[in-house]
Chain A
């Protein structure tokens, strides 16, 4: 009985399914007829016919925003450096400012106004002319931001460098912008700002098309303050004057840009660039090995040699980073200058660099890399001298050493610290050689570790560092030692005042001298030990013969050279 029942029902089921399949097929056929393929033929053979002019680069994440004024992360800037240009550029291979959209400039003696001569005949990708009016439009846009637009997570660079907005003019550094005809513009500042010119080389201050900014409501970032969202402009309509124009962004997948035919400068070999989003570092390496991508950034130190051996091109950047060992003075032992000096003498930086950091890394003597203004060649240093370290510990009342917590992050790779676990192990061994016993305190990078170091006094020795944004000394030492911080747990009014004063000096040379003195002052006070300036590297396929590596990541893809 049951047999017949099932088979009858089964047959009905099969019929229904057959009908369904037929229906789907017909629907598919209809759709195929309606949907015209919008695909373009592959245009790889444009330009230099011997070379595949499509360049595929693996990015570690999506850009946070296509509007560089509302971005502060490296992947956003990597893309915006191709699409946009600022008034000021960067001298190739250095951190020094160079002319870009401004051909020349002159700052008044009081440092409060600068006159820029603009490059002529430049147009934005949407045809809008680049002129003095466009410059003022951008400056006024930044200055007039309100509410959520002012949040640190939104307009980090404008907020931290120009400090105030139109609704808080007493704090603001920017005052006004005047167009003197088409090709000359005057920017007036309310307070002197010696870093003004180099700051303008940041992608966050790139010139954007006023037409597009308005058309795609660039400043409309979300309805409520509770959950700001990106503007239409930042999601898919960035318009600049750069060599590449934006094509498409398939979130999580890839972003495409192609050469702007009316670009004023040299166009180079590449006509199209695809940024593929591959977040796993291992997967980026494998994609390179499989020939799927032409290059990627931040090569793991352990990978450099094997990639080199396999014939890939490894390009190191000049370091623009600092890795330091912080000493929290809220810990009684670390408050004693003798103990801090002992720790400094106990560390063999050369060994640390050779054993745990990538090739090209320089040993640090101070908290800024040597390309930054104010680098002091004659700064006080603490040579590796374990015997002296033990002596100092004995003088401080710890002849048998002491025990201290050592905080370090796990499972994270920063440009200044590719493998924190290895750095920790290395330092732990060095410290134990002079009798300092270390209590390991590992924590996940974000939010645990950062929170613990920056927002609580509950830490001892710790590893942290910084990657600079542009040639600005304050952007390094001002960030670390400019005010009383839980991270270091000390109050040194003299040092805070010196940094404050230096920041307010409008003459660059005068300021540089002050920073040299401050670097010496910090070295003597010894609140933390500068360990190294690690150098990040990029890896490329064999066909990439030259890449414009820049310490401040100012890398425009028109400069790339391809051999096939």
Chain B
């Protein structure tokens, strides 16, 4: 197993190397350039030239690339042009927020999606089945930002049940160590702060989790439908095994394989969905930061972020692959 992990990680190196070159060239060839973005209306040609010189944007591309890679290998992602802080530090403060949000979205999507898909398959052709199909269709087609807006309007503004934006009540004055606000609240014993942070996660979590939810419902339903008519299920029934054993150990377990793959793929999509959700809910995560970086042409942040996401994606896929062998021992990781 360790060998497999090592091999997979080694494969990451050429991938990242190729990616870094593509990225570098793409970013440098965007129109305008960061100097104009930095200076706005105040950009005179002299000022632009001066900024380019100071930031090294006027040097040959190969020199810029080598400098960049040299630093990257030392763990230096550079300094954000927009905020003047190290890129890595910016990620470190915001990434926990997005992870927190993603976990809630995933709990929502899996917690509701798997049972719903399972029930729909078991009661195939009945009301709950049709209902789940319609619901998942709606879930896939409604744009995230629109759903986020509606949720916020109804639950936060119209009925004042949940907070409209942010990660925590600004008057809370809570202590933060890990930047995972719910965890921080629990660790420091500030349970009201933890609860408040959790409440702030509900609406964005639902908005973000809806598309994965819809997909998980459909995959689970299809997979369970297929498995529950399989020969070994019939054999188990014929042997007189208890119905709960059949459902738990035979049907659900075997049906989970495609679902787990989907969850893994959805995790990556959740990050991109976070760009929209975090903007609507003024949630200080990596998604909103990335949006600002795109608008402000913040080269170091864009480059660092994409490499970061590539590594993350590769790791998630590795974990998904490894989990196959836990769910189904017949699957060997190679």
Closest 10 CB pairs of A and B: A447-B32, A252-B284, A447-B36, A230-B84, A227-B79, A290-B164, A152-B47, A278-B282, A226-B56, A229-B79
Closest chain-B Cβ to A293's Cβ sits at a distance in Å of 8
Interface size of B in residues (CB-CB distance below 8 Å): 77
Chain A 1-40, CB-CB to B under 8 Å as 1, else 0, gives: 0110111011001000000000000001001100111111
Q: Report the stretch among A109-117, A164-172, A450-458, A539-547 that lies at the interface.
A: A450-458
Contact check, A455 vs B48: say whether CB atoms are below 8 A apart.
yes
- For B124, the chain A residues whose CB sits under 8 A away are none
Contact check, B289 vs A252: say whether CB atoms are below 8 A apart.
yes
Interface residues of A (CB under 8 A from B): 2-3, 5-7, 9-10, 13, 28, 31-32, 35-40, 42, 44, 54, 56, 61-62, 64-65, 72, 148, 151-153, 156, 160, 221-222, 225-230, 234-235, 250-254, 274, 276-280, 282-283, 286-287, 289-292, 446-448, 450-451, 454-455, 464, 466
Identify the closest chain A residue to B48 (Cβ): A455
Identify the closest chain A residue to B152 (Cβ): A286
Contact check, B282 vs A279: say whether CB atoms are below 8 A apart.
yes
- For A153, the chain B residues whose CB sits under 8 A away are 35, 38-39, 47, 51
Contact check, A226 vs B43: say whether CB atoms are below 8 A apart.
no
Contact check, B164 vs A287: say whether CB atoms are below 8 A apart.
yes
Identify the closest chain B residue to A29 (Cβ): B187
Contact check, A276 vs B173: say whether CB atoms are below 8 A apart.
no
**B78 contacts chain A at the CB level, 8 A cutoff:** yes
Interface residues of B (CB under 8 A from A): 31-45, 47-48, 50-51, 54-56, 67, 78-79, 81, 83-86, 90, 93-94, 149, 152-153, 156-157, 160, 163-167, 170-171, 173-177, 186-190, 193, 232, 236, 249-250, 253, 279-282, 284, 288-289, 292, 295-297, 300, 326, 329-330
A152 interface neighbour in B51, B163, B174, B329, Cβ under 8 Å: B51
A466 interface neighbour in B41, B187, B300, Cβ under 8 Å: B41
Contact check, B249 vs A3: say whether CB atoms are below 8 A apart.
yes
- For A283, the chain B residues whose CB sits under 8 A away are 164-165, 279-282
A447 and B166 CA atoms in complex are apart in Å by 29
A290 interface neighbour in B38, B43, B163, B174, Cβ under 8 Å: B163
- For B67, the chain A residues whose CB sits under 8 A away are 226
Contact check, B85 vs A290: say whether CB atoms are below 8 A apart.
no
A466 and B177 CA atoms in complex are apart in Å by 43
Contact check, A228 vs B84: say whether CB atoms are below 8 A apart.
yes
- For A253, the chain B residues whose CB sits under 8 A away are 166-167, 284
Contact check, B83 vs A251: say whether CB atoms are below 8 A apart.
yes
- For B288, the chain A residues whose CB sits under 8 A away are 252, 279
- For A454, the chain B residues whose CB sits under 8 A away are 36, 43-45
- For B300, the chain A residues whose CB sits under 8 A away are 227
Identify the closest chain A residue to B281 (Cβ): A283
Identify the closest chain B residue to A73 (Cβ): B40
A3 and B43 CA atoms in complex are apart in Å by 71
Contact check, A276 vs B170: say whether CB atoms are below 8 A apart.
yes
Closest chain-B Cβ to A274's Cβ sits at a distance in Å of 5
Identify the closest chain B residue to A7 (Cβ): B249
B160 interface neighbour in A228, A280, A290, A448, Cβ under 8 Å: A290
- For A250, the chain B residues whose CB sits under 8 A away are 176, 284
A156 interface neighbour in B42, B48, B186, B279, Cβ under 8 Å: B42
Contact check, A42 vs B171: say whether CB atoms are below 8 A apart.
yes
Contact check, B85 vs A54: say whether CB atoms are below 8 A apart.
no
Identify the closest chain A residue to B176 (Cβ): A250
Closest chain-B Cβ to A250's Cβ sits at a distance in Å of 8
Contact check, B166 vs A37: say whether CB atoms are below 8 A apart.
no
Contact check, B171 vs A446: say whether CB atoms are below 8 A apart.
no
Given contacts A54-B171, A225-B54, contact A37 B31 (CB under 8 A): no
Contact check, A292 vs B163: say whether CB atoms are below 8 A apart.
yes
Identify the closest chain A residue to B284 (Cβ): A252
A448 and B40 CA atoms in complex are apart in Å by 11
